Structure 1
Amino acid sequence: MKIKEIIVVEGKDDTTAIKRAVNADTIETNGSAVSDAVIERIKLAHETRGVIIFTDPDYPGERIRHIVAEQVPDCKHAFLPKHEAIEKRGRGVGVEHASVEAIRKALKDAQTVEKEAAEQISKEDLVDAGLIGGPQAKERRQKLGEKLRIGYMNGKQLYKRLLMFQITQEQFARALKEVLQEEKT
């Protein structure tokens, strides 16, 4: 599987994992202090081939994703569910620990962030769905993020991502229904 876009990852181990799964070029941020030089390379990559941001499903990875997306808008975003990125001994979380299949699926499902949502989902919708402020809110957000392929986030970030990725009311309702059905089983 050949990827046209250049994939932004955190480090060398991520690059190794990506190259095991697909034929692609990467740019490594080398941690969460993304330098101006790295941002300039990412901007050039975006202009010439396009960019997919593919960071770890943890706080530093989300921080890097935010920094890059703010400096280089209109990138594609690939997300791994946390459970697919955990090291076998359970000590680490990252792209480098994901299976070839999980990496390929995340890259295949990469989405472009749009500026405005077609149908806006309200914060009240999230409260009503038990995604904010309820006893199972965190677990529901995690499962919903996996189903929608937008990653895990807190309630405030969930709202922003639903809007950024233009998740429609229909997509939201379908994914939420699946999450709620899984809770019953």
Structure 2
Amino acid sequence: MAATSRGTTPEPPDVRPRLTVLSGPSGVGKSTVVAHMRKVHPQVWLSVSATTRQPRPGEQDGVQYHFVSDDEFDKLVANGELLEWAEFAGNRYGTPRRAVQERLESGEPVLLEIDLQGARLVRESMPEAQLVFLAPPSWDELVRRLTGRGTESPEVIERRLGAAKIELAAESEFDVTLVNTSVEDVARELLALMDVV
């Protein structure tokens, strides 16, 4: 005879929020989407990366980045304290692991805005993370955005476009693709994916 239970309800499944990773090619608008999203829903916690680069004017330690020395960064890597890290333009950037885990455990939605290499490393160490790829409406539009900044030399733009082709080719590695035709629409779709209403 099968066992039955009376008057008990099943335990609800663990509904802790998943880590959401937003990635995509340079110039696609990741930072703009995240800034808009956090203005509308400030409860979404965006991880602050550690970096070995020097602060730019107006940047504050712990706000834009945690600014650390090369030796301090070496220690973070050696002690397994970074969820992911990468080198870009001669500086290193990484996501502190403990802060992300603490926020997830406390039930807060957590967002990482990182590059392709970082997203791949997060997938290895946290397979349950949700990886979201932000794509441009078209290649021509991405070229227009990258060249329209007017802040970089032709050589740097060429390098960024070459990297963008590689990054666009990795779209299939992600769980979801959002096309950035409208910052407001993409921010709304991203919030829905994160179960933030």
Asked whether the two chains share a fold, i.e. TM above 0.5, the reply is: no
Pick 1 or 2: higher relative contact order, CA cutoff 8 A, min separation 6.
Answer: 2
Q: Decide which structure has the larger Cα Rg and report it.
A: 2
TM-score of the pair, normalised by structure 2: 0.35
Give the TM-score of the pair, scaled to structure 1. 0.37
Where is the strand percentage greater, Structure 1 or Structure 2? 2
